[in-house]
Structure 1
Amino acid sequence: MPLVRLALGTALCVVPVLAFAHPGHADSGLIAGMAHPLSGVDHLLAMFAVGLWAAQQTHHGRWRLPLTFVGAMLLGGLLGFDGVAIAYLEGAIAASVLALGVLVAVAARPPLAVSLVISGLFGLAHGMAHGLELPAMNSPVGYALGFVAATSALHGAGYALARWMPLAGAALIRGLGMIAAGAGALMLAS
């Protein structure tokens, strides 16, 4: 029952942000920044999967994976604000959904350095996408704070779900990874 309450509470927290994602809401960029990761299924799945994957790690990996993703995402956002982009950025983001889903599905525990590189590269790609989509008339600082806050919340929700799930729920977490991987494969195919 506490897990159901957590899921419902998380859903209720997301609803107001999605309402502000519609045009016509002038703000400092904070709300727009929060809405971006929550309103795109590619970002939402990848960031939630990072939290799930972090919960499957041991010791330092549990906090370093999400922290590396957020730090690299912020750097990517700053690059995106300046118009820097990589070729096939949307493909890289779809690949991140697929790869992170597979990593969760198999509960992968590669060496920490490899995990951090994976997390950092995917975070950089997501950040560039966020930065390139800075809405006109919005503060880059507020927008960056918003997408960092939303991403951190998604990481935390994934982490909390995986950590609070009873041991028998490990199959459910792996199943969520398979769903994310399938979604990523569909994104790459389209």
Structure 2
Amino acid sequence: MRIKNWLIAALCFVSPSLYAHTGGHIDHSLISGLLHPLTGIDHLLVLMAVGLIAAKQGGKALFAFPAVFVALMAAGAVLNVYAVQIPFVESLIALSLIAFGLLVTIGQKQRAKIFFLGVSFFAVFHGYAHAAEIPAESSAALYFSALMLMSLAICLGGCVLGLSTGKRINYLFSLVCLSSGLYYLAGA
């Protein structure tokens, strides 16, 4: 399937028509949680990078890498809930873009696996930031559950993209991550 078709499918999921039939059946917390990972380019790029890296590894990594990343995001959210102060969270998230952007281009599978385990700690900072942005009027459990589900779906979407495209997309994606990371780091 071409990338254009995947983008069209993704846009259908975030279309304003989602709000057309509210009818009180869908909790605001659920919708907010599902849409939140799609609204921050930094989080979206890192989640897609996890999927691309997992696709390059193949096998068990297709599910293990996204699962590890999402679990570490949950750990970061717990740190936020217990009011553990982490300084420079935004700078660390910007650094994660650079780290994952570089990791997407590593060709040797064993080295990439080791580096993935090394840079996965950045997921803690993403989870911490997500938990800090839970709307006051939302059910925190429902919001964060939906956010984690969408984060996992984005990672798996990155796996599909990685399995259906070649090195050229990885390098292009890497450049987007690197330039975004440098841009955010300069502003942090």
**Normalised by the size of structure 1, how large is the TM-score?**
0.84
Equivalent pair of 2:29/2:140 in contact (CA under 8 Å): yes
What's 1:171 paired with?
Answer: 168
Equivalent pair of 1:17/1:31 in contact (CA under 8 Å): no
1:5 Cα offset (Å): 2.1
RMSD of aligned Cα (Å):
2.4
1:185 Cα offset (Å): 1.0
How has the CA–CA distance of structure 1 residues 90 and 176 changed in structure 2, closer, same or farther, with 3 Å as cutoff? same
Paired amino acid for 2:186: A
What's 2:126 paired with?
Answer: 126
What's 1:88 paired with?
Answer: 88
Check if 1:99 corresponds to 2:96.
no
Equivalent pair of 1:55/1:159 in contact (CA under 8 Å): yes
1:37 Cα offset (Å): 1.4
What's 2:182 paired with?
Answer: 185
What's 1:64 paired with?
Answer: 64
Equivalent pair of 2:103/2:116 in contact (CA under 8 Å): no
Q: SS of 1:56's equivalent?
A: helix
Q: Equivalents in 1 of 2:17, 2:140: separation in Å?
A: 18
Q: Equivalents in 1 of 2:155, 2:149: separation in Å?
A: 10
Q: Equivalents in 2 of 1:67, 1:18: separation in Å?
A: 27
Q: Equivalents in 1 of 2:141, 2:119: separation in Å?
A: 26
Where in structure 2 are there 5+ consecutive unaligned residues? 21-25
Identical-residue share of aligned pairs (%):
32
Paired amino acid for 2:59: H
Q: Equivalents in 2 of 1:135, 1:3: separation in Å?
A: 33
Residues 34-74 of structure 1: CA deviation (Å, up to 9, x unaligned): 22211111111111111111111143333221110001111
How has the CA–CA distance of structure 1 residues 17 and 160 changed in structure 2, closer, same or farther, with 3 Å as cutoff? farther
Q: Equivalents in 2 of 1:84, 1:6: separation in Å?
A: 39
Q: Give the number of equivalent residue pairs.
A: 181
Paired amino acid for 2:15: V
Residues 59-106 of structure 1: CA deviation (Å, up to 9, x unaligned): 333322111000111121122233323110001111111110111133
Name which of structure 1's ranges 84-93 and 107-116 shifts more when overlaid on structure 2. 107-116
What's 2:5 paired with?
Answer: 5
Where in structure 1 are there 5+ consecutive unaligned residues? 21-25
What's 1:23 paired with?
Answer: none
Paired amino acid for 1:138: S
**Normalised by the size of structure 2, how large is the TM-score?**
0.85
Check if 1:39 corresponds to 2:36.
no
Check if 1:154 corresponds to 2:154.
yes
